């Protein structure tokens, strides 16, 4: 366990906020990893107050960032009540669903808050000036709930190796910047025709991860090129 200090809170969408912390000593982690925020250090098995969140910042930064869709849970309330300069305990770094610089072509099938480790990975690629080819398919219920859209658009517009497809699942007024519907086999084939050449990451709630995994395998991706992480209890 180590202490980190809150330095900034950023509203990403009406329901999602990012929390930036300054660690006492630099935390070494690999893009794609996660940490545990601990509001109850006495009882570290307290699942209501101690939860796992992905890094949503690159390890190239001096700060660390986590991002959460806030609810009425005790953990969300504890996050909301944090003030600048407040300190919390964390356990880091955790997880093996990671990006490696040797991956030259990567893809993502992502829903909602599953975007957080993707941000860490893409920001790392940008900061390190890597020539990694990135193809992100990112689904949300509404366009207002697309977290990090400003950052993603900037990265896509400034880097020819980054392609982002936004999917909106609510049947609302059409906008040419989005595809309306759900991620399915035909959509993946159309937007990521070279799927079999990519290391494919799938982050999100278990049901969504399983569905995307099944579709990818049915298209013919090699299982060894599939990297999955379930977000449980977020």
pLDDT tens sequence across 154-182: 999 999 999 999 999 987 767 778 888 88
Q: Which of 94, 116, 148 is the last residue of a domain?
A: 94
Q: Could you list the residue range(s) of the whole structural domain that residue 122 is in? A: 105-230
Examine residue 52 and state whether it is found in any structural domain, yes or no.
yes
Q: Could you report the per-residue pLDDT of 36-71, keeping only the tens digit for each?
A: 999 999 998 899 999 999 999 999 999 999 999 999
**219 and 166 inside one domain:** yes
Q: Which of 35, 70, 94 is the last residue of a domain?
A: 94
pLDDT digit of tens for each residue in the chain (234 aa)? 899 999 999 999 999 999 999 999 999 999 999 999 999 999 988 999 999 999 999 999 999 999 999 999 999 999 999 999 999 999 999 988 999 999 999 999 999 899 999 999 999 999 999 999 999 999 999 999 999 999 999 999 999 999 999 999 987 767 778 888 889 999 999 999 999 999 999 988 888 889 999 999 999 898 999 998 877 655
DSSP code string of 38-99: ES-SSSTT-TTTEEEEEB-S-TTSSSEEEEEE--SSHHHHHHHT--TT-EEEEEEEE-S---
Please state the domain count of the chain.
2
**31 and 122 inside one domain:** no
**43 and 145 inside one domain:** no
Examine residue 100 and state whether it is found in any structural domain, yes or no.
no
Examine residue 115 and state whether it is found in any structural domain, yes or no.
yes
**114 and 226 inside one domain:** yes
The candidate with the shortest Cα–Cα distance to 3, out of 18, 24, 19, is 24
CATH number at 146 reads: 3.40.50.80
How many other CB atoms are found less than 10 A from the CB of residue 62?
Answer: 10
Q: Is the model's pTM score more than 0.75? A: yes
């Amino acid at each position: 366990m180590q202490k980190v200090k809150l330095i900034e809170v950023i509203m990403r969408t009406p329901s999602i906020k990012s929390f930036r912390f300054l660690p006492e000593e630099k935390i070494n982690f690999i893009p794609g990893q996660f940490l545990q925020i601990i509001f109850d250090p006495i009882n570290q098995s307290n699942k209501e107050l101690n939860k796992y969140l992905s890094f949503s910042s690159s390890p190239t930064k001096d700060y660390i960032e986590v991002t959460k869709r806030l609810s009425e849970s005790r953990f969300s309330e504890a996050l909301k009540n944090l003030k600048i300069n407040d300190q919390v305990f964390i356990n880091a770094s955790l997880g093996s669903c990671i990006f490696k610089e040797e991956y030259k072509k990567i893809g993502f099938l992502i829903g909602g808050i599953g975007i957080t480790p993707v941000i860490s990975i893409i920001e790392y690629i940008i900061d390190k000036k890597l020539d990694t080819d990135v193809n992100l398919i990112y689904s949300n219920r509404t366009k207002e709930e697309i977290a990090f859209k400003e950052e993603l658009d900037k990265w896509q517009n400034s880097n020819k190796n980054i392609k982002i497809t936004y999917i909106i699942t609510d049947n609302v007024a059409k906008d040419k910047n989005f595809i309306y519907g759900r991620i399915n086999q035909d959509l993946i084939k159309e937007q990521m025709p070279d799927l079999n050449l990519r290391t494919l990451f799938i982050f999100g709630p278990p049901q969504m991860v399983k569905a995307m995994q099944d579709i990818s395998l049915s298209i013919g991706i090699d299982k060894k090129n599939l990297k999955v992480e379930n977000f449980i209890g977020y």
